[in-house]
Structure 1
Amino acid sequence: MEGWARYLTPGPAHRRLGLVCLGAGAQRGTGPPCRDRVLSCHAAVLLAAGRGELVQDARHALVAPVVFWLRPGVRHSYRPDAGGWSEYWLLFEGPAAGAYEELGWLPAEPVTPLPDPAPVRRAFGRLAEAVRADEPDVPAAAAVHDLLVTVRRSTGATRSPVLAALRRDATRRWPVAEHARRLGLSETALRRAVRAAAGTGPGEYLLGVRLTLAKELLAGTDRTVAAVARHVGYDDPGYFTRLFTRRVGVAPSAFREQQQR
């Protein structure tokens, strides 16, 4: 196979960025399979053309365009078919990888089909430019974040009708059970759908939407704190103030003083 590869050795300060790039490259053509190995970091491989097979816990057919994910500590092997393939690869690690997994932006399934591979190919292009920079570690770390977000968006997974409905009705004074009923779902099904799309439960998701709207009203209007609380779904301004303070880190009045122009 022909291609290129770059490897990086990020320092302690770079690792505090949350994710670091350890290497990236591209290969094209036919060659021996990657047999029975275990990585100590995460890897993402864009199969841009061709087909083959991945063995990681089970056998997975690979037909471009897909991204397949190699997990640290998990034994795997993969190979192109006789006709060869074209791939772009990335090695990365860091504590933010766990957060991406928890939030659903680093897929649990080992293979991610791509309805439109063009954005992901462009993201790998930005990664290739980053690892070739004179001081590559920070640009490459940013490119890893960019790539994970681009893959998720390219699958259409960020366009969830369940989340859209929750955002629309977030200020309603409804319990989670009522949101589920109006969506024609059981509470269990709603929790599962929100967890898959947003990495959190419906109550926590609704809270985030409400507090985001509250911030906009506090910073952009002269409404009283009590009026803002009522608008976002809380009849008790004292409870709203305690909730806002615990989540945001400052009281609503202090947030307004900091942010209002």
Structure 2
Amino acid sequence: MRPSSLVRCSCSMDNFGEDLDFSCAVNHDAQGAWSHYVPVDPQLRNCALAVEGVGTYSGRYAALAPRRLSAHALVVISSGSGTARFAGADQDLSLSSPVAIWLRPGQTHRYGPDASGWTEHWMLFAGAASALYVPKWTHKAIVGDPHLLTRRFRDVRDALVAPDRLAPLRASVVAQMLLIALSELTDEPALAPDSRRTLDSFAADARMRMSLGDRARKLGMTVDELRRLIHLTTGRSPTSHVRELRIQEAQRLLVETEWSISRVSDAVGFDDPAYFSRVFRKLTGRAPSTFRRDEQRVVASDGPREARR
């Protein structure tokens, strides 16, 4: 996120313990720089993720002075090295490419390359859906080919500049693909095959009436190990994950069978149909009977029915 010429202003940043000059110097002869900004669609920001700007900068420039942004920012350094400092830190952090930086709205920060310069790709975005992607880190090493990420910044730009009314929505989709790719290329360990098999077994037993301890023992794990695995992969507790898996199966049964609500409730592991209905409404926004009425698309028969469409 760079201006194309020298910009100077000043601001007191007590987070860093001193009054600092807000100066940023950019080489006029820097190569490979481009940026694109757009006004944010309020409706898209309120219900999804809206891209405010995207760009690339390659070259040597003075490090940014401390500043705050009003939006989220993803910065990917694909080549070169430099430093960064975030609010609360008393010294600079060393950064070596490939590395990602995530800046939250209102977070005081500064960063910049060393004397050799670096190549930086950035995206500004905001909106309700942003919270789905916010990581726990502020900077993270990228494992694998950084070009799998960096080419997506240009894809976001190409979506933004398209001369049609769907351009902001298209850019939002591409930006979210970029954020998903980021999560897959940071240095979190990939899910091991044994863990995948454990999750599949856990899902297969979701309808069974078992305590968490029994589920863990059947999978050859401790309760704490099971909790960590489920939370790492789904972001939910084991109990919440079981509940969601049961409701997913209930949705299928409501559409594909003529079973009563009580029978569906029992089949997916609920003892009380009334409680099942409350959970179903909470997770889907509709009562089981309403869901069936809205989603049925098959001809009744003795067993699972064939779809009309």
Q: Under a length normalisation based on structure 2, what TM-score does the superposition of the two structures give?
A: 0.72
**1:42 match:** 72
- Superposition CA RMSD, Å: 2.7
CA distance in structure 2 between the aligned counterparts of 1:243 and 1:76, rounded to whole angstroms: 43
| Unaligned stretches of 5+ residues in structure 1 | none
Does residue 131 of structure 1 match 2:167?
no
Cα distance change on mapping 1:177 and 1:23 into 2, 3 Å = same
**How far, CA to CA, are the matches of 1:62 and 1:165 in structure 2?**
41
Partner of 2:172: 141
Q: How many residues align?
A: 255
Question: 1: distance between equivalents of 2:246 and 2:203?
Answer: 9
**Letter paired with 1:234:** F
Does the 8 A contact of 1:24 with 1:131 survive in 2? no
The separation in 1 between residues aligned to 2:161 and 2:37, in whole angstroms, is 10
Question: Quick check: 2:47–2:128 contact (8 Å CA) kept in 1?
Answer: no
Residue in 1 aligned with 2:143?
115
> What amino acid sits opposite 1:145 in the alignment?
Q
Larger of the two Rg values belongs to structure: 2
Contact 2:41 2:50 in 1 (8 A): no
Letter aligned with residue 133 of structure 1 = A
- With over 3 angstroms needed to count, the CA separation of the structure-2 counterparts of 1:231 and 1:63, relative to structure 1, is farther
Which has the higher mean CA deviation after the structures are superposed, 233-242 or 105-114?
Answer: 233-242
Task: Provide, for residues 214-242 of structure 1, a one-character-per-residue CA deviation record: whole Å limited to 9, x for no partner.
Answer: 11222223444344323322244343233
Task: Kindly indicate whether residue 209 of structure 2 is the aligned counterpart of residue 173 of structure 1.
Answer: yes
1:52 and 2:52 matched: no
CA pair 87-142 structure 1, distance change in 2 beyond 3 A: same
In 2: Cα distance, 1:246 partner to 1:31 partner: 52
- Structure 2 counterpart SS, 1:37: coil
1:68: which partner in 2? 101
The structure, 1 or 2, with the larger RCO (C-alpha pairs under 8 Å, 6+ apart) is: 1
Match of 2:117 in 1: 84
Distance 2:204 2:184 in 1: 21
Change (3 A) 1:90 1:183: farther
Q: Alpha carbons of 1:54 and 1:174: their partners in 2 closer, same or farther (altered >3 Å)? A: farther
**Aligned amino acid, residue 142 of structure 2:** L
Change (3 A) 1:158 1:236: farther
